[in-house]
Structure formats: C-alpha cells, structure tokens
Amino acid sequence: MSLKLYIDWLSQPSRFVAIVLNILKVPHEVVEIRIAEGKQRTPEYAKINPYRKVPAIVDKDGFQLAESHAIVKYIIKSRNIKTPLYPDDPQQSAKIDEYLDYHHTGTRKLSQYFFNLMVAPKLGIETTVNLEQAKKEAIFALKLLDTKFSTQDYICGKEITLADLSAYCEIMQLHMVNWDFSKYPNILNWMSRVTQIKEVNAGHEVLLKIVQKIRSKPKL
C-alpha cells in the first residue's frame, strides 16, 4: 500500500501538501476529493477523515492524518527527511512553526473574505461573515507580509521554507478574483520568486486553468 493523499486542487492547504511532497520527492498517490461535488461529505470519505475536510493522508501502514501543516511535518519526521524547507535547528523550525500557527487566523482570512464576497453568492450560499471586517483582516494580513518582504526575501529570512509555500498557496488563490496586488509590490516580487519552483507551478495548473477560463469571459 502506498501513501495516499486526498486533495482537491482548488483547496489551498491541499495544494500546499501536494507541492511539498513533490519537492521532497516522497512517493504518493493522489486521490481527488472534489469539494464542489460534496465528495468530502460522503460516508466513504468520513472513514478516512472524520473531520470531512481536505487534505488528508493514509500512510502505508494505514495511519490517518488531517490538517495540512501537521501532515507535512509528519512526512518529514517519519521519513527522517533533511530539508532546508524545515530545518532541524530548534530556533529555525520554531520561527517556521510561528508563521504556520499565525497562518490559520492570519493569512487564511484572505480566502474567508474572497469566498464570502465572490464564491458564496454564486453558489447561493448565504454570507455568514461580516464582510467589512473580513476585508479589513485580509488587508492587514497582506500588509504584514508586504512589510516583511521589504527587508527579507522569504517569511523566515533568506531561505524559502514551509511558511512561504503555505502562504503562497493561500495568496495565489486571490488571482481567481483578479485581486489588485499593485499596492503590495513586495508580495508580487516574493510571488515571482516562489513561482520559479517547478513543483509550485505544477501544483497550480488546475487553478490557473480556471483563472484563465474566468478571465476569458468578458463579463466577469
């Protein structure tokens, strides 16, 4: 039995895990769980991930795990992989953990905002958040990163780490709604640095195809 990775290419945390596994050359089999088709809510999938969210993994020995950051750290630890994406040094790894913890209630606000502003109305889902507040929080997260990138190339310093890959997958999602990044020139420069990694690009193929489709419709 091989490592199975359950993802939806349109989910930011899903792409993050797939990209890291590919960069680290960890053999795995991708199983697509399409959120738009409600496939994460089937009884079959509940046996794999009771939280009914993507991503999730089932390891070779049947071990099941959810939460993108936990999955990636588990893969690195269980395979004893040495990688600059998550160095062994306690202080370097702690600064990466610090960002990854902040990410949940910080950078992730971006998708909350854009989902409720753009996607929910199209799917007929009632907006459940205060949109003004969500926008404020999304902009705060972008400003924080833009300021960081004015003095350093990556979130934790000179090297790209798990922190950048997780943040990139989230921020990239905003391309779907033609987000105006002109106010955040340092984020744009950072994005162009991260985009140079071929596994990052490959992980965004499905998303970019959809973006292209949306942009080709003159009325959208």
Interacting positions 132-191 with a second copy (CB under 8 A): 132-133
Q: How far is it, in rounded angstroms, from Cα 66 to Cα 68?
A: 6
Q: Which is nearer to a second copy, 105 or 201 (CB)?
A: 105
- 130 lies in the site for a second copy, by CB under 8 A: yes
Q: Which is nearer to a second copy, 102 or 179 (CB)?
A: 102
Q: How is 35-48 classified by DSSP, letter by letter?
A: GGGTGGGSHHHHHH
For residues 8 and 34, the answer to whether their CB atoms sit within 8 Å is yes
For residues 55 and 14, the answer to whether their CB atoms sit within 8 Å is yes
Q: Which is nearer to a second copy, 154 or 175 (CB)?
A: 154
DSSP 217: S
The kind and range of the H/E element at 219 are none
Unique residue bearing structure tokens 């105006």: 180
Interface pick for a second copy out of 29, 81, 83, 101 (rule CB under 8 A): 101
Interface pick for a second copy out of 117, 129, 139, 210 (rule CB under 8 A): 129
Q: How far is it, in rounded angstroms, from Cα 97 to Cα 162?
A: 9
CB of 51 to a second copy, least distance (A): 7
Residues comprising the chain, all counted: 220
Give Cα separations from 95 to 85, 109, 110, 154, 162 (angstroms).
12, 21, 22, 12, 11
CB of 72 to a second copy, least distance (A): 10
For residues 178 and 219, the answer to whether their CB atoms sit within 8 Å is no
Interacting positions 20-79 with a second copy (CB under 8 A): 51, 63, 65-71, 73-74, 77-78
Interface pick for a second copy out of 105, 178, 189, 195 (rule CB under 8 A): 105
Interface pick for a second copy out of 27, 43, 84, 90 (rule CB under 8 A): 90
Q: Which is nearer to a second copy, 2 or 130 (CB)?
A: 130
Whether residue 84 is preceded by a cis peptide bond, meaning omega within 30 degrees of 0, is: no
CB of 50 to a second copy, least distance (A): 9
Q: Give the binding range for a second copy (CB under 8 A) out of 22-30, 96-104, 169-177, 190-198.
A: 96-104
The CB density around residue 9, as the number of other CB atoms within 10 Å, is 18
Residues of this chain that interact with a second copy (CB under 8 A) are: 51, 63, 65-71, 73-74, 77-78, 90-91, 93-95, 97-98, 100-102, 104-105, 108, 128-130, 132-133
